[in-house]
A = this chain, B = another copy of it.
Amino acid sequence: MIQLGDRALLKSEDGREYLVEITHRRFSTQHGFVELGDLVGSPYGTEVKSHLGKRFFVFSPTVEELVRHTKRQTQIIYPKEIGYLVTKLGISSGMTVVECGTGSGGLSTALAWFLRPDGRLITYEAREEFAELAGKNLAKAGLSHLVTIKVRDVVEDGFDEVEEADAVVLDMRTPWDLLPHAFKAMKGGAPLGVLVPTTNQVSETLRALKELPFASIEVCELMLRNWKPVADRLRPDDRMVAHTGFLVFARKVVRGEKRDDEPC
């Protein structure tokens, strides 16, 4: 049932989307006004028409839609990377996850979603303005209670957490600078996930990973191709996103004593 204060996705038949708060106001779209207040009490999935007669559907937003509608001043994180990341890191309720950097909070939103109801995300961001933006985005998504945002230059000052993190996610320009801090914050065996756009960054990250007791090191990339949903003329879209980033994964190894040979 749609209620006042709900965050809802308004989607037109031709695919335009608006992430809105349900209030007693008219919401202006490219296809005319929609009276949001009239929706209260209707079930989600309801069709509504703008004053110009254009049909809209009202949906309760999925995490994919929340992330896609995050207000951004930083680079994009895509649902395909998010999905693979939470699956590879095994994000789930009850976990403690450490992230750096927060950026606009898109990835934080996804992590917090999958940590519900009782996990926690500690996310570090060097720039105050991004931390603020991310805070707003997380509040809008109704996920603030799961997230602590810390404004800090982690390269300099490290993470507060010591062997507490069930997973660490690095989404920043120089993740290699942070690997010793990440290692310290991680529980034994915990997975690390790193996102970087260039192959040079992948190489640099791999070099730094070899300097520490990390094992199970993997690099991959995901390509998503949308198809036109037309039964009798089925074919892929004309264009697609060619690249968002490379994902690097590793697992923290715990050793009794110092060794001179390194793990795979």
Give the interface of A toward B (CB within 8 A): 11, 13-15, 42-47, 55, 57-65, 79-80, 82-90, 92-94, 110, 113-114, 116-118, 187-191, 197-200, 202-204, 206-207, 210, 215-243, 246, 248, 251-256, 263-264
Contacts and interface: CB of A to CB of B under 8 A. Distances in A.
B222 A224 contact: yes
B225 A223 contact: yes
A98 to B, nearest CB: 16
Given A84-B79, A242-B237, A187 B226 contact: no
A222 B87 contact: no
Interface SS of chain A = mixed
Contact of A232 (B14, B200, B225, B243): B200
**Of residues A203, A207, A242, which shows the largest number of chain B Cβ atoms within 10 Å of its Cβ?**
A242
Contact of A62 (B55, B87, B203): B87
A65 to B, nearest CB: 8
Given A220-B224, A243-B236, A254 B84 contact: no
A61 B210 CA distance: 22
A225 B240 CA distance: 11
Nearest to A86: B83
A88 B117 contact: no
